Amino acid sequence: MKIFYIKLLTLSCIALLIVTSCKKDETKVTIMAQPTPATLTSSANALVLRKADADKPAVTFNFTMPDFGYTAAVSNTLQIGVKGSGFDKAKELSFDAGVLTKMYTVSDFNALLNTMKLPTGASSNIEVRLKSQITGAAVDPIYSPVLTLSVNPYTLIVPAAFVYVPGDYQGWSPSSADSLISPTSNGIYEGVITYPAGGTFQFKITPAKNWDIAYGDAGAGKISATAGDNLTVQGAGSYKLTVDLNAMTIAKEALSWGVIGSATPGGWGNDTNMGYDNGKRIWNITVNLVPGEIKFRKNDSWDTNYGGSNGTLALGGSNIAIAEGGSYKVEMNLVTNTYTITKL
């Protein structure tokens, strides 16, 4: 095995009265020429998925950390592709530091396989591997050995359900209010509502586009059709609302996503915020871009950001290049972990 050495020179100085002597100290950091990749295992290698088992575990992937020959911050990404595709347009899931396992429920794994356009009701093969790279270093990634799984997904066609959010932000009109969606009609609804400055930030929840039933604030995160008080958010901005009509609760979270980078109007200093389509569950914006690069950033902070390539998002991933200036439609789908950038 070849070993490379990098010399890190530090300067140690000893001062004695007015006489100073200095010497150089050397520290060697060893980098392996052939790093040891992670090992990846799966709890099953043949899966027949059934809608009746939607909430049950389908498969669990476990992996070890790779060894680059020295201590470094390493990011791991699970890649899932159609067998024989060479992981072109593979689905990717990035992990936070210290995470060494990923469990998919039947419902989640089936949804992922459906986005890969695999045949339903029949077996086909997928390949899975773990991509590991040193964070922030110009070192080529390394890959675990590839696992091959036989999968048989089912077709899931469930009509989505909606509730509506009339409020001060849109004139208290249920017929034109924005909606929250429950993709599987399980009684839990989510969406993003933007409240402009200058209003009262009050709203209610209605199960139909009328005032026949309206849920107000029952206190302590609860909602009720008999509560007289309106629901509120803290101030102007976009909020993710989660309404659970099984438990009669509501959760409110300040949430925004924007594009940032040398290609955007705000450069690397300021986000250009996107809007959210509750029906399609897609963040989007039409924006003028110049040649350069962009990333997607949550809540105007680098704590959570996405880059990517070939239309697939990657947590903390590479900048996305914009070759030509012009007007673009930019969409980010966090359900399928994909993005599109279309020149208009």
**242 alpha-carbon distance from chain centroid:** 18
- Determine how β-strand 46-48 pairs with β-strand 147-152: parallel
Q: Which residue has the higher pLDDT, 297 or 136?
A: 297
Closest CA to 164 of 221, 243, 51, 84: 243
Domains of the chain, first to last: 3-32 (no CATH), 40-152 (2.60.40.10), 161-254 (2.60.40.3620), 257-343 (2.60.40)
pLDDT of amino acid 78: 92
pLDDT of amino acid 158: 61
Write the CB contacts of 262 (distance below 8 Å, at least 6 apart in sequence).
Answer: 268, 290, 292, 293, 294
pLDDT of amino acid 15: 33
Cα distance between residue 294 and residue 262, in whole Å: 7
Grouping H, G, I as helix, E, B as strand and the rest as coil, residue 297 is: strand
- Using 50, 70 and 90 to split pLDDT, how confident is the model at 69? confident
Question: How confident is the model over 203-217, as pLDDT tens digits?
Answer: 999 999 999 999 999
**What share of residues in the chain are helix, strand, coil (percent, to 5)?**
5, 50, 40
pLDDT of amino acid 21: 40
Q: Which residue has the higher pLDDT, 309 or 72?
A: 309
Amino acid in position 143:
Y
The region of weakest confidence among 15-19, 143-147, 230-234, 334-338 is 15-19
Cα distance between residue 74 and residue 67, in whole Å: 9
CB-based contact 177:170 (threshold 8 Å):
yes
Element (H, E) at 111: helix 106-115
Structure tokens at 129: 């591997």
CB-based contact 294:260 (threshold 8 Å):
yes
CB-based contact 129:87 (threshold 8 Å):
yes
Question: How confident is the model over 81-97, as pLDDT tens digits?
Answer: 999 999 988 888 888 77
- Phi-psi map region of 255: left, alpha, beta (phi>0 left; psi -120 to 50 alpha): beta
pLDDT of amino acid 185: 80
Question: How confident is the model over 325-341, as pLDDT tens digits?
Answer: 999 999 999 988 899 99
Closest CA to 144 of 4, 42, 3: 42
- Determine how β-strand 338-343 pairs with β-strand 326-333: antiparallel
Q: What is the rounded average pLDDT for all residues in the chain? A: 86
For Cα atoms 330, 179, 215, give the angle at the middle one, nearest 5 degrees: 150
- Using 50, 70 and 90 to split pLDDT, how confident is the model at 33? low
